[in-house]
Structure 1
């Protein structure tokens, strides 16, 4: 299996875990107060950012409609400013950005 495919599959697996860890919650506050699920979700965001850093620039340029750098930058915020994370911002990302990213990654995987 290629390094590219492995990285994309790792991103997809992290997204699936985020969905599993967050699917029962109805609000940012409810989610934030469940430490285990919140912490596990934050780790998956770190993994997504790490896998994106393994993708080469040519690949990212080919799929430039995906905000690779923004996602990677978010990983840095999670990893280095963990206690300053805004639960509402995290919840917004989970509820509006994760599913489209999953679709994009799945689509790319069918092409490579």
Structure 2
């Protein structure tokens, strides 16, 4: 598999994972719902794991493409997406649930759409 194929596959893997977040947050109507029982906590755990994995993948993709790929899609705050991985991984017990809720509701849908566009664009562009 070529580098462009691997890049598309990694982006597809991240997209598939991120597409699960709206299902996890569907039952969460308020940030406090993340802390109200096993179900809310389970949703929060799953969302955090997905965001950690996505952030790590973004970090590796950014390094592999020398920052050029993400520069083509400035509508996403890539540095913040990558940084969120570190916040969640190293400060899990101090997560701001209101910020996590806002990310899920406000940022993830746009990120999903951008990733779809990136994958489509990479079908025709052999960049890494």
Larger radius of gyration: 2
Q: CA deviation at 1:51?
A: 1.1
Runs of 4+ off more than 4 Å = none
1:70 & 1:101 partners in 2: Cα distance? 12
Q: Which runs of 5+ in 1 are unaligned?
A: none
Q: Which runs of 5+ in 2 are unaligned?
A: 123-128
Q: Residue 74 of structure 2: which of 64, 89, 93 is its match?
A: 64
Q: Which has the higher contact order (CA 8 A, sep 6+)?
A: 2
Structure-2 residue corresponding to 1:89: 99
Q: TM-score, normalised by structure 1?
A: 0.91
2:47 & 2:14 partners in 1: Cα distance? 13
Q: TM-score, normalised by structure 2?
A: 0.81
Structure-2 residue corresponding to 1:21: 24
2:54 & 2:34 partners in 1: Cα distance? 20
Q: CA RMSD in A?
A: 1.3
2:21 & 2:68 partners in 1: Cα distance? 28
Matched pairs, number: 112
Q: CA deviation at 1:89?
A: 0.7
Structure-1 residue corresponding to 2:117: 107
Structure-2 residue corresponding to 1:6: 9
Larger mean CA deviation between 4-13 and 57-66 belongs to: 57-66
Indicate how the Cα distance of structure 1 residues 6 and 32 shifts in structure 2: closer, same or farther if over 3 A, else same.
farther
Post-superposition Cα deviations, 1:44-65, rounded to whole Å, max 9, x if no partner, equal 0001101101212121222233
**Conserved? CA contact 2:59–2:82, under 8 Å:** yes
Q: Residue 54 of structure 1: which of 46, 53, 60 is its match?
A: 60
